[in-house]
Copies of this chain bind each other. A is one copy, B any other.
Amino acid sequence: MTKIDFDTIAKQFEQIQDRACRQIEQADGKSTFQSDQWEKEIGTGTTRVLQEGNKIEKAAINFSKIKGQFTADMAKMAGKQGKNFSATGVSSIIHPRHPFLPIIHMNIRYFELDNNEYWYGGGIDLTPHYIDKKQAVHFHQQLKNFCDGYHPDFYPRFKQQADEYFYLPHRHETRGVGGIFFDQLNTNCGLSASRLFDFVRQLGNLYPRLYAMILENEPTKEATQHEKQWQALRRSRYVEFNLLHDRGTKFGIASGGNTESILLSMPPTAQWFYNFAPEPGSPEAQTMAMLKKGLDWINMA
Mark A residues whose CB is within 8 Å of B: 36, 49, 51, 58, 60, 170-171, 232, 236, 239-240, 243-244, 250, 253, 259-260, 262-264, 266-272, 274-275
B274:A51 contact, CB within 8 angstroms: yes
The residue that A259 contacts in the complex, of B49, B171, B266, B267, with Cβ under 8 A, is: B171
Q: A269-B269, A269-B270, A269-B272 are in contact. List 13 more A-B contacts (CB 8 A).
A: A36-B275, A49-B274, A51-B274, A170-B262, A232-B269, A239-B239, A239-B243, A240-B263, A243-B244, A260-B275, A264-B274, A266-B272, A270-B270
Centre residue among A232, A250, A270 by max chain B CB count within 10 A: A270
Closest chain-B Cβ to A171's Cβ sits at a distance in Å of 6
A271's partner among B244, B253, B264, B269 (CB-CB below 8 A) is B269
- Distance in angstroms from A135 CB to nearest chain B CB is 26
Bound Cα distance A243, B267 (Å) = 15
Nearest chain B CB to A232 CB, angstrom units: 8
For A270, what are the chain B residues with a Cβ–Cβ distance below 8 Å? 239, 269-271
**Most chain B CB within a 10 A radius of its CB, from A36, A60, A243:** A243
A250's nearest neighbour on chain B, judged by CB, is B244
A268 to B272, Cβ gap below 8 A?
A: yes
Which residues of B are found within 8 Å of A240, using beta-carbon distances? 243, 263
A235 and chain B: residue at smallest CB distance? B270
* A260–B277 alpha-carbon span in the complex (Å): 11
Say whether A266 contacts B36, CB under 8 Å.
no
Sample 16 A-B pairs with CB under 8 A, ordered by A number. Answer: A51-B274, A58-B274, A60-B274, A232-B269, A239-B243, A240-B263, A243-B243, A243-B244, A244-B250, A260-B274, A263-B272, A266-B272, A267-B272, A269-B271, A270-B270, A270-B271
A213 to chain B, nearest CB (A): 26
How far, in whole Å, are A47 and B244 apart by their CA atoms in the complex?
22
Query: Which B residues lie within 8 Å of A260 (CB)?
Result: 274-275
Q: How far is the CA of A36 from the CA of B21 in the complex (A)?
A: 48
Docked Cα-Cα span, A264 to B236, in Å, equals 12
Considering the chains assembled together, what is the distance between the CA atoms of A243 and B246 in angstroms? 11
List B contacts of A263 (CB < 8 A). 240, 272
